[in-house]
Chains A and B, each alone.
Chain A
Amino acid sequence: MSIDQSTAAKVAKLARIKVEDDALPALASEFNTILGFIEQLNEVDVEGVEPMVSVEPMRLKRRVDEVTDGNQQDKVLSNAPDAREGFFAVPKVVE
């Protein structure tokens, strides 16, 4: 599997990371080096093997679905780059 520039651009878009066009060839080449390394996994016979979900066989704990926390608007917003009137502010999303 070889990654070309347009695939690299698509991946960058999916990851929401802006990559300038002139950086794409180098990026695609790095991807190919890493994926070439990963390709070794194809040598392993994984027929009938379950993919690991959790390293220790444990059932995730359940708890009652109830409110245990809240009323911390100031704390929640204290690190926001732009907070206004009790909300996170972002560029216009809907026209």
Chain B
Amino acid sequence: MSDLNKLGLAEARDALRAGDVTSVELTESCLKAIDEADALNAFVHKTPEIALERAKAADERIKAGNAPSMCGLPIGIKDLFCTKGVPSQAASKILDGFKPEYESTVSQQLADAGAVMLGKLNMDEFAMGSSNETSTYGNAVSPWRRGNDDAQLTPGGSSGGSASAVSADLCLAATGTDTGGSIRQPAAFVGITGIKPTYGRCSRWGIVAFASSLDQAGPMTKNVRDAAIMLETMCGHDPKDSTSAELAVPNFEAMLTGDIKGKKIGIPKEYRMDGMPAEIEKLWSEGAEMLKAAGAEIVDISLPHTKYALPAYYVIAPAEASSNLARYDGVRYGRRAQLAQGDGITEMYEKTRAEGFGHEVQRRVMIGTYVLSAGFYDAYYNRARKVRTLIKKDFEDVFAAGVDAILTPATPSASFGLGEMTEADPVQMYLNDVFTVTVNLAGLPGISVPAGLDSQGLPLGLQLIGRPWDEGDLLNTAYALENAVGFVAKPSKWW
């Protein structure tokens, strides 16, 4: 078999079990693809020794007939996950040189299931960004281009390295994390599948915290079946995360029947934004038609507080970030600034954080500090938390009325050029998450599925939002949509 790196998880798993291929062969194929793809800047810490060691162990387990779900499958890990003995710096200069003494629960579960870690993936610094342009490693680059134009495009963010790597077949799948859209927006930008599960499904332990009430890990894969396989491995109760749900994890793959007859799919009118490109509008209605043709009932719904989701998010997320990022003080880990004669501890904190945090991270930490400061806490932070309650209630009302899933566009535009948004004010960049951020605020599962190409040949995605803890049903609806769309486009190799 050639081009083994181009396989998905399910295909590779079946080939491994049939004895048609070994994990070492799969892994070597990916390592070669990674070495040829430095221009994408997706893998920022390569771990070939660990990969080959785990691949050999996986081959032994497969030979012994003792192969867990992801045995021998090579994947990439977002730099936000702490991986023992391997640099884990959340794409921040302030964590230069940090090698954790422990492994995140999610990456441990993947390793226990036999997955092979190929290396760490680029991302926006502390997952704050929508274009992977805030990384200390430099921009991750999308494998996609606008026709023959050789301008570099963003793979989205914050999980931009994961998106670029999966789309360019550098790995079979990758982990991502999603606080406001950081799995679903990049997945949509590069034509892959990405799911953020219900808040509490995946343990947050060992994942560098951005906004703890919103952060969730999830898989970024080449298709819906792969997402089901990998999500199941990533989920599960963990006593080390007090918000981790003590719920059984179903066999998501077994729930992929493709049968959605009688399912009620909601189309929220508030997601029809002014200035939305006609192509996205068209894609959205075509998606609804496809689900209808597959036997679903399409209903118009209203989520009246949608407009307030982004402003609420830009209070709550920075507030939590300002608290979470207080730990980067140049004392316990990472990088400390050079001090001048006579500098005390306050100067050490201030200089370390000024040098170590990039511009966007500094801005969000300071906004968070402001909205939590005396005199403004009620006006900003408490008000935003009340609006969050209303946003969640919007969804509860719709689900109580019998809606099974909600269909929306994943992003308000296709991928844009790296550097094109540099002059825009920060709020323009924040608008990338307008369709995804509601889902984090309400703690719901959401999945982005590639649904077509725009006139420039760039992928566009549709998002499905499901009921809490019902990822299985959501994945099945996504599977039906995927089958109907038949998206097969791949970027042509220029790197």
Hey, which bits of chain A sit against chain B, CB under 8 A?
1, 3, 8, 11-19, 27, 30-31, 33-35, 37-44, 46, 49-56, 58, 60-61, 63, 72, 75-76, 78-82, 88, 90-93
Contacts and interface: CB of A to CB of B under 8 A. Distances in A.
B487 to A, nearest CB: 31
B339 A91 contact: yes
Contact of A16 (B242, B353, B380, B384): B353
Interface of B: 97-101, 198-200, 213, 239, 242-243, 245, 305, 307-308, 310-312, 314-315, 322, 326, 329-336, 339, 343-351, 353-354, 357, 362-363, 365-371, 373, 379-380, 382-390, 392, 425-427, 430, 441-443, 468
Contacts of B357: 17
Given A79-B98, A90-B348, A38 B311 contact: yes
Contacts of A81: 330-331, 333-336
B32 to A, nearest CB: 33
Contacts of B346: 16
A52 B332 contact: no
A37 B308 contact: no
Contact of B363 (A13, A30, A39, A46): A30
A56 B443 contact: yes
B333 A60 contact: no
Contacts of B347: 18, 91
B384 to A, nearest CB: 6
A55 B392 contact: yes
Given A41-B311, A46-B386, 20 more contacts: A15-B369, A16-B326, A18-B347, A27-B366, A30-B426, A31-B366, A31-B370, A34-B363, A37-B311, A41-B380, A41-B384, A50-B389, A51-B388, A56-B245, A58-B200, A58-B243, A58-B245, A61-B242, A81-B333, A91-B339
Contacts of B243: 54, 56, 58, 60
A39 B383 CA distance: 10
A18 B427 contact: no
Nearest to B444: A55
Given A56-B200, A60-B242, A79-B332, A14 B427 contact: no
Contacts of A38: 311, 314-315, 371, 380, 384
Contacts of A30: 363, 425-426
A76 B312 CA distance: 37
A47 to B, nearest CB: 9
9 contacts: A15-B353, A15-B362, A17-B357, A39-B311, A52-B386, A55-B441, A60-B243, A72-B101, A79-B98
A16 to B, nearest CB: 4
A11 B354 contact: no
A33 to B, nearest CB: 5
Given A31-B366, A34-B426, A41-B315, A52 B385 contact: yes
Given A14-B369, A81-B334, A55 B199 contact: yes
A42 B379 CA distance: 9
Main secondary structure of the interface of B (DSSP, over half): helix
Given A81-B334, A90-B348, A31 B389 contact: no
A90 to B, nearest CB: 6
A51 to B, nearest CB: 3
Contacts of A46: 383, 386-387, 390
Q: Counting chain B CB atoms within 10 Å of each CB, which of A11, A49, A55, A75 scores highest?
A: A55
Contacts of A16: 326, 329, 346, 349-350, 353
B387 A78 contact: no
A55 B439 CA distance: 11
Nearest to B361: A17
B311 A40 contact: yes
Given A15-B369, A31-B366, A44 B385 contact: no
Q: Counting chain B CB atoms within 10 Å of each CB, which of A3, A50, A56, A72 scores highest?
A: A56
A81 B371 CA distance: 31
A93 B331 CA distance: 13
A94 B344 CA distance: 10
Q: Counting chain A CB atoms within 10 Å of each CB, which of B98, B344, B371, B387 scores highest?
A: B387
Nearest to A40: B311
Given A16-B353, A38-B314, A92-B344, A79 B335 contact: no
Given A79-B334, A88-B331, A17 B362 contact: yes
Contacts of B98: 79
Contacts of B322: 15
Contact of B354 (A19, A33, A43, A82): A19
A37 B386 contact: no
- Sorted nearest first, the 6 A-B pairs with minimum C-beta distance are A55-B443, A51-B385, A79-B333, A18-B350, A81-B336, A46-B386
A52 B344 contact: no
Contact of B373 (A14, A39, A58, A80): A14
Nearest to B379: A1
A52 B388 CA distance: 6
A24 B64 CA distance: 64
A38 to B, nearest CB: 5
Q: Counting chain A CB atoms within 10 Å of each CB, which of B100, B311, B350 scores highest?
A: B311
